[in-house]
Chain A
Amino acid sequence: MDEFQEILQDFLIESFELIEQLDQDLVELESRPEDLELLNGIFRVAHTVKGASSFLNFDVLTHLTHHMEDVLNKARHGQLLIDANVMDVILESVDLMKALLSIIRDTSSDAGVNVSECVVRLDLVSGGDGDVPTPVASAVKEMEDEDFMDAAEDEAEDDLDYDNMGADELEAEIERLLNQRQEEDKAKREAKKTSPKSESAPKPSEDKKKEVIPPKPAVKPPVPVAPKAVAKTRTYDNEDSDAKAAAPTKRTSTTVEQTIRVDVKRLDHLMNLIGELVLAKNRLIKINDDVEERYEGEEFLEELNQVVSIVSLVTTDLQIAVMKTRMLPVGKVFNKFPRMIRDLTRELNKKIELEISGEDTELDKSIVEEIGDPLVHIIRNSCDHGIEMPSVRLAAGKSETGTIGLKAYNEGNHIVIQIDDDGKGLDVDMLKSKSLEKGIITEKEADLMTDKEAFSLIFKPGFSTAAAVTNVSGRGVGMDVVKTNIEKLNGIIDIESELGVGTSMKLKIPLTLAIIQALLVGVQEEHYAIPLASVLETVRISKDEIYTVENRSVMRLREEVLSLVHIGDIFEVERILDSSEHAYVVVLGLGASKIGLIVDSLVGQEEIVIKSLGEYLKGIDGIAGATIRGDGGVTLIVDVAAIMQMAKTVKARVKIEDVSAKALNEKNKASDYIVMIVDDSKTDRMIMRKSLEPLGLTLVEASDGQEALNILKQGEKNFDALLIDIEMPRMDGYSLASEIKKYNRYKNLPLIAVTSRAGKSDRMRGVESGMVEYITKPYSADYLSSVVQRNVNFKSEFLK
């Protein structure tokens, strides 16, 4: 049984490979029906599959391929002209063949597909009377049919229906074939030996024989298989086994491939390991930077630098190399489209030509598998809605045949797949009115829409411009699928269209999924990574530029209105109010939509390795995964598609918060002002307290920087100013100031240095660490009081 499975595996792999090529060849054949070589190639495929399947006892498959072969054979001999009708039947049978093979793959048996209808049609096409009720009857009939054909003698033999033979008969047949083969070989050798000079003469004829009568080479694949299958029941005499041994070796020597098949799992594992290496590299670079800072000028630094750069270089190369092993040419997906277009043109009665270019462009395997469906939908859409009927095209002064261009090319770290058609283009007004009709957008939205936004309406679920639902499209599902799938790959869709001229759709997809470039952003004390592929730009805006429209925050970005959402609102970051007047907006683009994400800070760009959060935490909204940073910490990766969804439901708090911030800072009495005194000397604290008490402020004391920082961190009070001594144990004034300035919330908190250090450099340091005022001891009580009043905006009406 195992042996059988092994043979079966080989058979399936071979057959699927053959059939993949078949579709393309057949479509080509339709345009060049006279191309004998092409026809022969196709015939060979049918024959090979038939031969092998009969060995493996797949009766239905054999039955089907047998009739296919029959039709093709006649065409090959010029007895039958391949026209569109014939091609339809052949293509149908190829489809059946695929279906059968898939069933065999899944169940190891070919039952369950009804081929009789197709076989009847094949038979009719090949000139029979269509009377082929059962496989057995047809086989007999077929043999009779073949008798009158001028096929070579051995071809008829090859067409013997193996599955109708008993085991003994079969073996006899194999033996006979082998003997025959051997004799032929011998004859060939003889011929070569005897007439070395006239070699050029017999060779072509031999070649020709091989081509015209391919059954010989085509039946070969089963031969190496045969010994395995039969060996159990019978031993052959020496001569026979020699022949058998000769056949397979000869075969393998001609098919030594430059490639090996590798389990995808192994490649995935390799990719994971590389991922670890990239993380380690990031960490090494960070450590190197730290060391560089600390031991500036030391000799060993240069050596370390060299090693680090070599390691990072090699890691990058290695990463690229492994990525490349996972790459497949995008042609693997493109291959099925000629056939699809052909079927569609017949179905829709249009004339469409498909032009493919750049099919050698390579993409990660996982992506190649994902883009098939979206492309099918887009191309069907172009055929159905884009390209007009031939008469309409002629009337519009275009050529009768529409053209769809499918091309792939690299652009930086992305691959672009572009689908162009020269059809009628997208009608913006029609798109809008249809969407209004279906309630996808409101009238107001429609008025505000730019053309680009209107184009992207076609991706809305439920949207369809087709007046009637046809077989091909019009259900309003397809383009929605396109959008979802492309977004899943972090891709961007760009549509351009001109009415009456055509539509061009660009899918921009990152090359790989496992290791990506990311923009790291900060919100309060947390960091998040945003895939750089989705980042269109970053802008720094002042808070005044944020407007509220219908309870949503928006801003004007050049000509567009961009809706905004704060990253803190999405990720429930506890936001200690920040009074900073500026915000950073990361403009995210995905598919055809855009959104502005407000963050507190931009940290930088880094290469990150995507890691899953595991079973326990999977499927968290807005989080695509996690990555490990150079410092060993974990940073979460933002799921841009999910964020765009979430942004719709998250309330706009950006503005509201501002209002509440103001309310909180409203001062109604002098004691609403809170000032902290930070000094390690109790006497000094007393002096300050005495100077400020007359104002009636609330005063809080801290005996060193650490304590002051802790009080601030608790966030119970809203301080209006800090008086800071410079010389303090545990944490000095400068460090305290720079620590405080790290918090957004305290960016604008006035820090006043009160110190006996009066040097210019001290003052400079004070300014650098964020102090706004510098008071040197000793000072007058009035002076201190006035400085504090100025800095907290003390209202004069509170002065007693």
Chain B
Amino acid sequence: MSDKLKEIIDRQNSQQNSAIEQSDKIVQLVGFVIGEEEYAVPILSIQEIIKPIRWTRVPQTPQYILGVFNLRGSVIPLIDLRTKFGLKPKKHNEETRFIVMKDEDDVAGFVIDRLTMALRLKKSDIGPAPDTLAGDDSAIEGVGKLADKILTILKVNKLLERDF
């Protein structure tokens, strides 16, 4: 009896381990478009994705900070990634979304033009950021290679860092 039990437990353990190993090699990302480029962030750093809602302007802030909005009782800053990445602001449309990202206690909403898809990417398919863009200051984590395109993977903690 106890042998059997042990066997089962062992088997479960090994399954779990292999699951962990698998997840070690795979990164789950959410892709989105800003301007012409496609970007992605790890799915685990996304708290939620919502349709645009009303926000309040906050004075004395850079242009890319649109203001703050109310997410079920929390006041959360709203950052326009278009403006932040040096593109011209665009009117929000049907496809515009707010992605609420979090890193430990930091939370902020980011305006993106359009969502693409959630994707699983092998770690080996992710290359480092180009040397010219790499470094601690860069908001680029790496470049993901897909069959037909590449996408830029962003560092969430960098995006959530106040830089003004």
Contact = CB atoms under 8 A, between A and B. Distances in A.
Interface of A: 276, 279, 526, 570-573, 611-617, 620-623, 626, 628, 632-636
> Which one of B74, B75, B162 has the highest number of Cβ atoms from chain A below 10 Å of its Cβ?
B75
Given A613-B58, A615-B106, A636-B68, 18 more contacts: A571-B60, A572-B60, A573-B59, A613-B68, A613-B75, A614-B77, A615-B162, A616-B106, A616-B108, A616-B160, A620-B59, A620-B61, A621-B60, A622-B60, A623-B58, A623-B59, A634-B56, A634-B75
A613 B77 contact: yes
Contact of B65 (A526, A570, A573, A617): A617
Given A279-B73, A617-B61, A626 B106 contact: no
B36 to A, nearest CB: 27
Contacts of A614: 75-77, 106-108
Contact of B57 (A526, A615, A621): A526
Contacts of B76: 614
A788 B67 CA distance: 43
Cβ-closest 8 pairs across A and B: A571-B59, A634-B56, A626-B75, A616-B77, A611-B75, A572-B59, A617-B77, A628-B70
Interface of B is mostly: strand
Interface of B: 54-61, 65, 67-70, 73-77, 105-108, 160, 162
A626 B106 CA distance: 17
A635 B73 contact: no
A634 B55 contact: yes
A526 B59 CA distance: 11
B68 A626 contact: yes
Contacts of A622: 59-60
A526 B108 CA distance: 22
A617 B95 CA distance: 27
Nearest to A646: B60
17 contacts: A612-B75, A613-B75, A614-B76, A614-B77, A614-B106, A614-B108, A615-B105, A615-B162, A616-B77, A616-B162, A620-B58, A621-B60, A622-B59, A623-B59, A626-B75, A628-B73, A628-B75
A623 B56 CA distance: 13
A633 B57 CA distance: 11
Contacts of A616: 77, 106, 108, 160, 162
Contacts of A621: 60
Nearest to B106: A615
Nearest to A620: B60
A570 B54 CA distance: 23
Contacts of A632: 54, 70
A620 B69 CA distance: 16
Contacts of B54: 632-633
Nearest to A573: B59
A468 B155 CA distance: 59
Nearest to A621: B60
Contacts, number: 70
A571 B60 CA distance: 7
> Which one of A614, A633, A636 has the highest number of Cβ atoms from chain B below 10 Å of its Cβ?
A614
Nearest to B56: A634
Nearest to B74: A611
A614 B58 CA distance: 13
Given A613-B68, A613-B75, A628-B70, A636 B160 contact: no
B25 to A, nearest CB: 33
Contacts of B162: 615-617
B73 A276 contact: yes
B157 to A, nearest CB: 12
Contacts of B108: 614, 616
Contacts of B67: 634
A279 B74 CA distance: 11
Contacts of A276: 73
A633 B75 CA distance: 10
Given A611-B75, A614-B107, A616-B77, A636 B60 contact: no
A626 B69 CA distance: 10
Contacts of A573: 59
B109 to A, nearest CB: 10
A636 B108 CA distance: 17
Contacts of B107: 614
A570 B58 CA distance: 12
A259 B52 CA distance: 49
B85 to A, nearest CB: 18
Nearest to B57: A526
Nearest to A626: B75
Contacts of A612: 75
Nearest to B160: A616
A276 B72 CA distance: 10
Nearest to B55: A634
A617 B56 contact: no
Contacts of A634: 55-56, 67-70, 75
B71 to A, nearest CB: 10
B58 A617 contact: yes
B60 to A, nearest CB: 5
Nearest to B65: A617
A634 B54 CA distance: 9
A616 B61 CA distance: 11
A611 B68 CA distance: 12
Contacts of B73: 276, 279, 628
Nearest to A615: B106
Contacts of B69: 634
Contacts of B61: 617, 620
Nearest to A280: B73
A611 B75 CA distance: 7
Nearest to A612: B75
A616 B59 CA distance: 14
A728 to B, nearest CB: 25
A202 B99 CA distance: 81
A633 B53 CA distance: 9
Contacts of A617: 58, 61, 65, 68, 77, 162
A345 to B, nearest CB: 49
Contacts of B70: 628, 632-634
Contacts of A633: 54, 56, 70
A477 B86 CA distance: 47
Contacts of A636: 56, 58-59, 68
B155 to A, nearest CB: 15
B163 to A, nearest CB: 10
